[in-house]
Each structure stands twice: as C-alpha cells, then as structure tokens.
Structure 1
C-alpha cells in the first residue's frame, strides 16, 4: 500500500462499541497483522502501534456532544496512522453523522469515504440508501432499537454535503479525494468494496468510514505475507454464554442453544447474588446467562448489563467457568471492564462479525464477542462448539 511518507506507522480503528472494534480489527488479523482491541482510548499511541490497534470509544451510549468530543480526541491521537478507519454500524445505529464529522476533523485527512455496506450479512448500499436484506434500515427491526432507533436510511440526507459515488464512478475517486470531498460510496457486494479500495492511490489521504465489509476490503489490500502466530486456546472445560442483546436474531440463536440438553441457563433480572447461586448449582457442561427478552430503555439496559457483569465476575474468579461468549457490544464492554480486562488480543475472525481472542489483564480467558444483529439461528451453537473444540471444525455443541 502507498502512503504519503515514511513517518506514519500502524493501522488504527476507532469504534463506537466493543463488537464494532472487534469485527473491524479481525479481518486485519486474518490478513497477517498483529491486532488488539483496547477497551478505552489510551493517553498516548501504544508503543506496539506497528500492528492494528482498535479502540472501543464507548461513544454509542453517550450523548451527541460527549460522543463528538471523544471521537475527535481519538482521531487526533491516531492521526499519524498509516490507515485510519472509523467504524460505523452497518444499520446506521448510533451517532453516525456527528462522529464521522468529528473523526474527519480530528484526523486531518484530505477526504472521507463512507462505505457502510456489509454484504456478507445482507447489508448493502444502493444509490446512497442502506438496506438490510432488501429492506431499508429505517423499516427494519433496527428502527425499533431502544437506544438508537434508525430513522433514516438515506445517507444523502444524513450527509447532505456528500458526493455520491459507486462502482461505476470508481475511476473518479482520486479527483474527488483531491477536492477534499466527503464521499458516500454505494456497494452491493464485496467486489464493489474491493474496487473502491483499489481505486484510491494513497490510503492515508482518506478517513475511511465503514463496517466489517470495508474493513475486510482494506485488509485484503494491506495483507501481509505472514504475521506472528497466535496460539489457539485450550478447549474450554465449561464456557459461559452471556447474552445482553435483545435483538431478535440473537434471541433466536439463544433459543436454539438453550434447546440442547447439555446447556442450562438463567435469566438475570434482579439480584446478581441469587443468579450466581443458581448457576453454581447447575450441572450442564455449558452455562448461559441472559437478560429478559423484551427491549429496554437505556437506563434499564445499563443496569442489567452491570448485573450480568457481576455474575460473570463471580463465576470466573471462582473458576466455575473458564471461557466466555458475549453478544451485544455494550454488554461485552461492561462485562470485560468489570473483569479488569484492558483489551483483547485477537486470534482470528471465525465468522463474519465475530472476534476470537484472549483477554488482556487480570484474567487471560478465551473470549468470543459477537454483535447482536449478526448471524443465522445456529450461530451460537457453532461458536459454543468452537470454544469447546478449537481445533475441530464441526458445528455442534
């Protein structure tokens, strides 16, 4: 890849929640780069920044003003990165407009390219409009998100100053970048995203904005012949599946998992101590911990996430469980911070939107994190099998 000078180093990814940081960094790990996720913005660029550093800004749960400040500061900190990617949710949840503008200002990049398509999960951009499996996102389940309901699918409305482009205008991208434009790029497949990345001569001229689809395209262009080998974790003796997302896709996945005789679990809605005592008495080889199914107001959701975290902390510290699968970005961040983790050393991306690694910090547990809206109904079954049998490609618990 081509950069402006030899002084830049490292690839930086700025994400608004933990799962977004994970599925933004994971394609680069697969492409041969060392990669880690940090659970908060560091005071200075890490010394190991020659690899990939993904930062969970935690900005999705903030108000717009606080999200803007935090994003700008992180973008300024990592402004000298070889490649700077601001992730956005592929369904446009969160403070998309203000965070993109703040990141662009902080990055000091000549232009910004917004390409939120994630074709592997059926999220595509057609003439600037974002769709989920053929439905405009503002008409999908994501319009009923309790924290960030999606009200607009049209990126030209979200970014009225933007220039619309797509595969048919890829040859014009160098000129648009030279003009210092904010560019919204439509893509219906991974080949469209590859065409976008290939059309940009200098990757460090641009603030890149997108979801795992764009991250994967950038990783393919920046692929290394080899990276440091990461050790596959030992098979989990007793994993714990932690579900804080109320997304219907995750709840269907959980129902498929809970239907198995070798999985037992409970719903946490009150006192964590009671939940811990109940889980200690279960005998199944796989434990599951979930919040109630219904969607919740932000304050209630945060309280439930703290209750989940307290349960997980008790079970891991006493070694009742020895590995974690966590779904829901805000839940994952709360749980891992409660465990004293500072981040995740990434191993790989076993499925689109899933990051596998080891916790950095006091408890070096194997962990899998997944965004709530990703995957078919059997995804948790496959992830549970993977964490129990890391070298076996089978698909059953």
Structure 2
C-alpha cells in the first residue's frame, strides 16, 4: 500500500518529486486515468502521480486534484505531498485549495523554493536567479505565463483561502487556517522547515517543489541516488519539445559546439500524417543514422512559431504539437535504439510514453540535478530515458551530458 503519495501537475514534476524518495519503492503514474483507491492501495510505498493539470482551467484542475486526494484518504495514505512547479506556473491556487479542502485539515504548509536551481522566496516574492519570476523567462511562457511575483498573489488569483507568510527564521505559526507560505533561500533552510513541521506532527500534508520533496526524503532518512554506470553511457539523443528560452539556448549551444542538430519543422509538429509520409520516413532515417554515429544528436523543436494557419482553431495547439513530437520520437526509437534519450518538456514526454503504451515507470535516479533517469522495456532491450523540465539546466547541459558518457570524456561529432 502507498504510504506516501505525491501529486504533480505534469510528468516531469512527478518524476522530479518521486526520485527524491527513491530509497523507498517508487512508482510514477504517467497519467491519472487509471488511478483509484484500489490502485493506490495496491501501489508500492511511494506513488507519484502526474495529475496532468498544468494546462487545465482552474475549476477542472481543482476537481481532479480534489478527487485524487479523496482517493488517497480513502486508501489511508499517511503522507500527502502536492508537487508544484518551481517557477509557480500552472493552477497553483486552485490545486493547493483542492489539496487542503479534500484533506480535511485546517492548513497546508507550502515551501515553493528550490534554492539548488536558483529559485528562492524572499519576503513572499518568488525569484528566479535573483530576478522576480514575472521578469524571468517564465513570465513570458507562451502557455502558462507567471504574471505575479508575490506568492500570495499567485495563490489568491484562484482561491479565497487565507494566506499567511512566514519569513526565513521565524517559527511555524502556532495556529491558523488556510495556506502557510514559507520563505527559503538555501537548501538548509528548506530542510530545517520540513524537519520543524515533522517534529510538530504537521508533516503529513505538505506542498512545494522538488526542493521540499528532497527535504521530506531527508527527514524520512531516504535519499535519491545519483545514476551512474552503464545507464548513463551511450550516444545521447535529445528530443527538445520545450519552447522555453532555456531549452532553446541549450539547443543553440549544442549546435555551436558541433553537435548534430535536426530541426523539427512546422509540418512535423502540426500534421499527424507527416510521420507516415516520405518526408517523415527520411527524417527518421536521418535521426537514427546521426544517433548511431554521433555522441550528441538533438531533435530541435524549440522554435516559437505561429502555427495558427496549420492547426485548426478548435484544436489545442500545445497538445497537437506534443502528440506529434512524441509519435515522431516513437518512430525513431522503433527504427533503432542507438543509446540514451533525453526528453525536455513534460508534455512531449507524456505523449511519447502514451504512444509507446507505457502507463507507469520506475525512476532509476538523478543523472544531474533536475534530470531524472528511468528505464523502460523497448523490444528485446531496455531503453534509458532521461527527462527534464524545459526551464531547467545550464546552457551547456546537453553537451555536458554527452561528454560525460563519451569514452574520451569529450563530445564526438
């Protein structure tokens, strides 16, 4: 039976949170579709769920999270953790409200910071690399722009629940109702706060990003292993379906360093039939050949384009592009697996796994902070997949990952 359940709004978030508790038996559900009280009761000790609510409207996101928490309560889950985006994208207020309302508790403790990745909260303002979040690339996110900097404003945009701010170093309030938001600027600050809540007996209902999840793991004497050995070796194929500026810069840097970069154009993104035609077949052959002969190949779909003239107005552009990119990656892997795969962006990863018929995965560990590896069966051999959020990582991340796996320690082009 699952003793701990984590609920994220996208798949990379579910993996990021789940891997933190990997010393326990962890299962990550690719979608919420097959989750009910029986599934939760039959799950291993830690169940991390992709609720797939990032792009829903607030009402539907509330209803889905509320239903999952009610199922967890019915299955007697001991610790519930609401995984939020470290840049506070998505339905933050609605999902925190649903989490609290369905739990029956009087308050929910929320630690939004991820100091290891430069995401801190100071005087209630969320910062990305020291810059207010609305002024960072996440303020210009084409699907989920963050328009407020104060965490309380972000929450109150979707709920009337009381919000209390606790500065770094201040104790947990003795009483109160609603959502309690905690400042944090260092990993040690996040860990101390979680330990304090555990000692007070209030650690069973928490919210935050992977920084808080890691602190929960430390408090429970669990830890996320660093993925090493054969699982990190072999030529690297990057499927970059994120249009976040961070991912676009990573693609550009890889190209400048001489990596093999294949651009995924408008037709490939928008037309499901493209992959079945001669152009799609030629692209797949080119991708497989590059993957086989280069230590780093990038399928670059990071261009921010106006696709309104190709995709019907009634269609969800984000979902259409994710599904077509995911199917393209399946075609490449079915043609031949030549090493490892890194997928950037939770939407493309979820579409890829759905197209491959995968419902659940078991994380193997972190390759580097923010990059989670897991293994799945692919025909007669295992395929190692790594995933990261589109906004994570240094500019040189793709090149560095390829270099670490190359026999000479350098990128082979």
Tell me if both proteins adopt one fold, taking TM over 0.5 as the criterion. yes
Matched-pair contact (CA < 8 Å) for 1:355–1:370:
yes
What secondary structure, in the 3-state scheme, does the structure 2 residue paired with 1:120 have? helix
Gaps of 5+ in 2: 157-161, 268-273, 308-314
Measure, in 2, the Cα distance between the counterparts of 1:205 and 1:260: 46
Mapping of 1:356-371 within 5 angstroms?
356-359=373-376, 364-371=382-389
1:37 paired with 2:28, answer: yes
Q: 1:325 to 1:53 in 2, by over 3 A?
A: same
Measure, in 2, the Cα distance between the counterparts of 1:366 and 1:320: 10
Q: 1:393 to 1:57 in 2, by over 3 A?
A: farther
Measure, in 2, the Cα distance between the counterparts of 1:115 and 1:135: 18
Measure, in 1, the Cα distance between the counterparts of 2:377 and 2:96: 29
Mapping of 1:234-383 within 5 angstroms?
234=231, 237-261=234-258, 263-270=260-267, 271-273=274-276, 274-281=279-286, 282-283=289-290, 284-285=293-294, 286-294=296-304, 299-359=316-376, 364-383=382-401
TM score, norm. by length of structure 1:
0.86
Residues 285-342 of structure 1 show CA distances to partners (whole Å, capped at 9, x for unaligned) of: 3432122511668933322222212211111122254532100111111111111111
Mapping of 1:1-397 within 5 angstroms?
9-29=2-22, 32-41=23-32, 42-43=35-36, 44-46=38-40, 49-79=43-73, 80-159=76-155, 161-170=162-171, 172-173=172-173, 175-176=174-175, 179-200=176-197, 201=199, 206-224=204-222, 233-234=230-231, 237-261=234-258, 263-270=260-267, 271-273=274-276, 274-281=279-286, 282-283=289-290, 284-285=293-294, 286-294=296-304, 299-359=316-376, 364-385=382-403, 388=405, 396=411
2:310 aligns with none
Taking only aligned residues, the RMSD between alpha carbons, in angstroms, comes to 2.9
Q: 1:291 to 1:198 in 2, by over 3 A?
A: same
1:5 aligns with none
Matched-pair contact (CA < 8 Å) for 2:232–2:367:
no
Gaps of 5+ in 1: 1-7
What secondary structure, in the 3-state scheme, does the structure 1 residue paired with 2:362 have? strand
Residues 192-248 of structure 1 show CA distances to partners (whole Å, capped at 9, x for unaligned) of: 111111111255654211111111111111124999x99955566554211111111
Measure, in 2, the Cα distance between the counterparts of 1:226 and 1:134: 27
